[in-house]
Amino acid sequence: MKVLVTGGAGYIGSAVVQRLIAGGDEVVVFDNLSQGHRAALHPRAAFLEGDLADRAAIDAALAAHPVEGILHFASHTLVGESMEHPFRHLGNNVRCGLNLLESAVEHGVRRFILSSTANLFGLPDRIPIDEGTTIAPGSPYGESKFILERMLHWMDDRFGMRYAALRYFNACGAVSPDLGEDHDPETHLIPLVLQVALGQREQVTVFGDDYDTPDGTCVRDYVHVADLAEAHVLALHALEGGSRTYNLGSGTGFSVREVIETCRQVTGHSIPAVVGPRRPGDPAVLVAASDRIRAELGWAPRYDDLRAIVESAWAWHQSHPHGYAGRTPS
């Protein structure tokens, strides 16, 4: 299958591109490199530098590269920032998504995979969180993804575009020592903790230790980026059976303290940690129920062990202590 991957130079997008190409699919990456990295681009993927805000650029890309499917990762994704600047996320994510969908329909694309979010559920009414959990987005970012999911419903209803909306929990780990996580600013827990081990931070802050959890710190469901990539490919090739939505997670929750302790064990560094105030809106526990995708597509996370996840991330950070731009020569 020939597919277009928006945001294919980013963290999750680049992992999915690698998996697609390994499986024999032909990939065109469309990315403005505002958050992605040239060094993360797969050498066998065609690359088009462009912005989804530019409808003409999307039309030109799809005219030059007729594709059967689109996998959409390009997005503003910082939940906290979206609370401070809601129009930046609602405006960018929705307008750009609409541009992409309109162009896709006009060019006859009939498969679409959306990188959605577990932030659709805000403060969930039950744990573990399955696809039937009440949707009440916890931020403008989450709202923007829900709007895109609703748009896709109508693309299917009106134009027969089959879609899958994949709702992520905490993406983590590295596909290899050469393909990993490089954000600016970094907001994800595991990279922040590993930066302490690298000597780039003095300590890591634990936001609250008085939650109703075994050790008082928040519990989250961490899913390896390679497992996310596998889920995308399975969903893409299953769309002939109809549109679908899936929650993606390992099904196991780990606390902030457990993550820090595992990083200490893997790195051999003491990793000082200090307790700070709770962050507004942080639920005590977020764990996914991925039963639907397991039953329908046979997806099963290979990296459901926290130590293995951290080891893969640590291998990446050791070989790229300053990200793609500051790669340590082999």
pLDDT, residue 213, reads 96
Distance, C-alpha 42 to centroid of its chain: 18
What is the identity of the amino acid at 123? Answer: L
Same domain, 151 and 243: yes
Same domain, 205 and 280: yes
| Cβ atoms of residues 288 and 251 within 8 Å | yes
Same domain, 178 and 151: no
* H or E stretch covering 170: strand 170-172
Catalytic residue list contains 141:
yes
pLDDT, residue 252, reads 87
Q: Smallest Cα–Cα separation from 198: which of 100, 148, 130, 268?
A: 268
Condensed to tens digits (0 to 9), the pLDDT of residues 254-299 reads 999 999 999 999 999 999 999 999 987 788 999 999 999 999 999 9
Angstrom distance (rounded) from CA 100 to CA 267:
43
3-state class (DSSP) for residue 222: strand
Count: domains in the chain: 2
- Give me the sign of the Cα torsion angle 221, 96, 83, 130: negative
Q: What token pair was written down for 264? A: 């200490």
Give domain status of residue 329, yes or no: no
pLDDT, residue 329, reads 38
| Cβ atoms of residues 117 and 142 within 8 Å | yes
Nearest-5° angle of CA 115, CA 119, CA 120?
85
Give domain status of residue 15, yes or no: yes
| Cβ atoms of residues 182 and 37 within 8 Å | yes
Does the pTM surpass 0.85? The reply is yes
Same domain, 41 and 181: no
Angstrom distance (rounded) from CA 160 to CA 60:
23
Same domain, 31 and 142: yes
Same domain, 214 and 230: no
Condensed to tens digits (0 to 9), the pLDDT of residues 155-173 reads 999 999 999 999 988 999 9
Same domain, 118 and 214: no
Nearest-5° angle of CA 31, CA 32, CA 38?
70
Give domain status of residue 330, yes or no: no
Angstrom distance (rounded) from CA 132 to CA 188:
27
Condensed to tens digits (0 to 9), the pLDDT of residues 51-85 reads 999 999 999 999 999 999 999 999 988 787 888 88
Condensed to tens digits (0 to 9), the pLDDT of residues 12-34 reads 999 999 999 999 999 999 999 99
Q: What token pair was written down for 248? A: 């993606």
Above 70 in pLDDT, residue 328?
Answer: no
Same domain, 164 and 204: no
The pLDDT of 174-189, averaged and rounded, is 94
Give domain status of residue 215, yes or no: yes
Same domain, 125 and 182: no
| Domain containing residue 264 | 173-221+251-323
Q: Indicate the pairing of strand 219-224 with strand 253-255.
A: antiparallel
Listing DSSP states for 256-314 in one string gives HHHHHHHHHHHH-----EEEEPPPTT--SEE-B--HHHHHHH----S---HHHHHHHHH
Q: What token pair was written down for 136? A: 């009440």
Condensed to tens digits (0 to 9), the pLDDT of residues 126-139 reads 999 999 999 999 89
CATH number, domain with residue 295 = 3.90.25.10
Q: What token pair was written down for 174? A: 């590295």
Same domain, 30 and 137: yes
Give domain status of residue 260, yes or no: yes
Q: What token pair was written down for 147? A: 């709007």
Q: Smallest Cα–Cα separation from 67: which of 25, 109, 8?
A: 109
DSSP character at residue 131 = T
Same domain, 21 and 156: yes
Same domain, 181 and 58: no
Among candidate residues 141, 163, 168, 211, the one labeled active-site is 141
